[in-house]
Structure 1
Amino acid sequence: MRTTGTSPLVQQAHSIAELAGQRAEKAEAARTPDPDVVDALVAAGAARHFVPISLGGSGGTFAELKQAAVVIGARCPATAWCAVVAALMTRTANHLPPAGQRKLWAGGQDTLIAGGVMPRGVAAAVEGGWSLSGSWPAVSSSERADWILLSATVRATDGPEQRIFLVPATDARVDRTWDAVGMQATGSHTVAVEQVFVPDTMAFPASALTELETPPAGPDGRAVPLPAVNTFLFALPMLGAARGALRYWKELTGARLQGRPGAYDPVLAHYADVFARSSSEIDAAELLLDRIAHVIDTASAVTRADVARNQRDCAFAAELLLRAVDRLMGASGTSGHSTGSALQRLWRDIHTAGSHATLQFGPAAAQYTRTELMHTN
């Protein structure tokens, strides 16, 4: 395993962040990722980050992805979201049969994969594979992807089961439905397919992603189930957004405080409370996420207890980050609320990201309690 920070994605994160920040307003208006930004992400290795080294990929770590996503997210959380989703979809595609992996990466390891992992489609067995139909909302980067990973329900003799399918983007239709108030530049539109043939080699059981006892090995040969990592990845753009919001708030507020008297000053006391509390919450959230990255990068096996704790900590970190940015926004004055302000864009983005189902504290707390106190699944 490489030393954290040596990947091209980490090394180029600042230049990608700069470009993404410059193009953010345009990308929001278009409601799709800027093509030059996507090209920069792919060139830096976002798509190949979790492709196994044996197949020519980076075999990257979660800590490295976290470093890059936070830097990028501080300028454009939507771009950071697209980066982590691309990496997650690549890691998910590692569960394809060997022949499917070879086909997927036949044109190179920088294949960009988008995905709809909720089972919104149906598939029927046909000779040599499957006939897949369905409609999947909120597929990030759907207009920029080369392949799309889709989850569907299959009717089996012993009851319905869920399977994962990889289809070329050219076999899918993208309906431009993404109208969220935040994360507009993710282009998370609806993907639809109608009776598309998917060979057996381009499909696998969804249980391969969630099995906690004997999960298939990931790109580095270690068994890390999807539930241990997906919530972590979704929290990273939020951490980036919070870091960016704190920086912009400091710029706005610092100018106001210049020349304030040295004696007790209620205005300074107010801003001091906002700054200290919010920066502390952001630091605390990052420490939680760093712990998770260390566990999933280094543990010989990720246990059910690890998964429950990871999900709890990610949901709690999301709450900390939302609270911190809300406080900053509330103390930003009219300048922060300007339609042209980067602070209000980051505020919108972090709230949309934080609304993701996997980042809600209630379900995570219940699962953690069941695991730790009741010893149930």
Structure 2
Amino acid sequence: MIQSASAPLSTRDTQRIASHAALADAARFLHPVHQALLHRRGWLSMLAPQASGGAELPLPQVVRLEEAVATIDGSLGWVLTLCAGAGWFAGFLEPELAREIISTRRVCLGGSGAPTGFADEDGDGYRISGRWDYASGAPMATHFTLNAVLRRHGQPLLDEHGGPRIRAFLVPAAQVQLIPSWNSLGMRASASHSYRIDDAWVSKEHGFTIKPEAATAAGPLYRYPFYSLAYVTLAANVAGMASHFMQLAQECIRHRRHAGQDLPLIEVPAVAALLHNKQQAFASARSHFYTVLDDSWAKVAAGETLTAADMNEVQNTSLALTAVSRAAVNELYPLCGLYAAREDSVINRVWRDFHTASQHPLLMSL
């Protein structure tokens, strides 16, 4: 069951996520209640084609759901986003293989985009070896996606520009060895560990190309550009965490007093103005972000191809929302007091999650 776009999360699901977030953070992996919710709601296959057993939801609905989850718990929102995003790749696999994978019990696709391994041609398939980092949700993954340099007889194959040819692959978890390596300050429950593969053979059908013209599913979701999809889903997560932080920061400020003026801190004009300005700037950037997302989706759904200008607008509004979120978190945190520095406080966990998630290389605004 997938919630409607008008109500991304039910009250009950919101309570389930919130009440187990601290336990998940301490355990450094999603709580079993969180995992069960992901599977029960079908969220991990919400971007997979309907023909393969997925929900194939409209992208704006997906992004709003991801933001709603991240607003409650950053780690769960991140795992949902990255693993559902890997499920989107089913729209580029051979349909029979896609159905087989998406029908897997408690299916969850994890992975990494860095081309830090090799795929050597071997008969009707490839032998894959390498190590990949930052696979969010790795302990619950049933399959892993990866990028690898293609080789023939040990020599890299070259593309039309003279660089190494890179191909995406999907590998069953049984052929993968997890490497516990996720020791970050925040996003602890995302368990974004490394993994390695040692000379695992997969058939050629397990390789795929992520381009609209290479899609094997016919829906508009698979004609939406990959990097545009990545920008909007990542930015929505960061926005969700920032929104949560601002809510908690306002409560902290409300309960503090200004030492010099002996006033509730929230009543100090400069503080009240700062809080208001950050909230308004965030609301404006978020509204524009969704306007651009909705417009871009409408174009693709109508059969149009996004132009370079369209894709740049999607990227720029995503980065603008991220920048406004960073400014709000960074400027309000010093007003929150020592409670916000306590590792066992909710606001501290949200602050840690935000600063870890916003390190994603696509979200650099320089």
For residue 154 of structure 1, report the CA deviation from its aligned partner: 0.3
Partner of 2:293: 293
Matches within 5 A, 1:130-209: 130-155=126-151, 157-159=157-159, 160-205=164-209, 208-209=210-211
Matches within 5 A, 1:161-310: 161-205=165-209, 208-209=210-211, 214=213, 216=215, 220-221=219-220, 223-256=223-256, 267-299=267-299, 300-310=304-314
The one-character-per-residue Cα deviations of 1:6-33 (angstroms, maximum 9, x if unpaired) are 68xx244x43443333222222233222
Distance 1:3 1:179, change over 3 A: closer
Q: Answer whether contact 2:266 2:272 (CA < 8 A) is retained.
A: no
For residue 4 of structure 1, report the CA deviation from its aligned partner: 5.7
Distance 1:306 1:216, change over 3 A: farther
Distance 1:79 1:143, change over 3 A: same
Distance 1:237 1:15, change over 3 A: farther
Structure 1: how far apart are the matches of 2:142 and 2:6? 27
Q: Answer whether contact 1:172 1:192 (CA < 8 A) is retained.
A: yes
Partner of 2:21: 24
1:122 matched to 2:118: yes
Q: Answer whether contact 1:182 1:349 (CA < 8 A) is retained.
A: yes
- For structure 2, which runs of at least 5 residues remain unmatched after alignment? none
For residue 38 of structure 1, report the CA deviation from its aligned partner: 1.7
1:329 matched to 2:328: no
Moved more, 247-256 or 110-119: 247-256
1:50 to 44, 47, 52: 47
For residue 218 of structure 1, report the CA deviation from its aligned partner: 5.7
Matches within 5 A, 1:334-349: 334-349=338-353
Q: Answer whether contact 2:45 2:87 (CA < 8 A) is retained.
A: yes
Q: CA RMSD in A?
A: 2.6
Structure 1: how far apart are the matches of 2:144 and 2:150? 18
Which amino acid letter does the alignment assign opposite residue 98 of structure 2?
Q
Q: Answer whether contact 1:245 1:346 (CA < 8 A) is retained.
A: yes
Q: Secondary structure at the match of 1:74?
A: helix
For residue 158 of structure 1, report the CA deviation from its aligned partner: 4.4
The one-character-per-residue Cα deviations of 1:19-76 (angstroms, maximum 9, x if unpaired) are 3332222222332222320220121121121122233321212221222222221221
User: Percent sequence identity over matched residues?
Assistant: 20
Q: TM-score, normalised by structure 2?
A: 0.87
For residue 144 of structure 1, report the CA deviation from its aligned partner: 0.8
Q: Secondary structure at the match of 1:164?
A: strand
Moved more, 143-152 or 336-345: 336-345
Q: Secondary structure at the match of 1:111?
A: coil
Distance 1:50 1:255, change over 3 A: same
The one-character-per-residue Cα deviations of 1:267-320 (angstroms, maximum 9, x if unpaired) are 521331221122112212312321232134211322222222211221121111
1:312 matched to 2:311: no
Which amino acid letter does the alignment assign opposite residue 289 of structure 1?
F
1:59 to 56, 61, 81: 56
Which amino acid letter does the alignment assign opposite residue 165 of structure 2?
E
Give the aligned length: 348
2:89 to 74, 82, 92: 92
Distance 1:113 1:347, change over 3 A: same
Which amino acid letter does the alignment assign opposite residue 152 of structure 1?
A
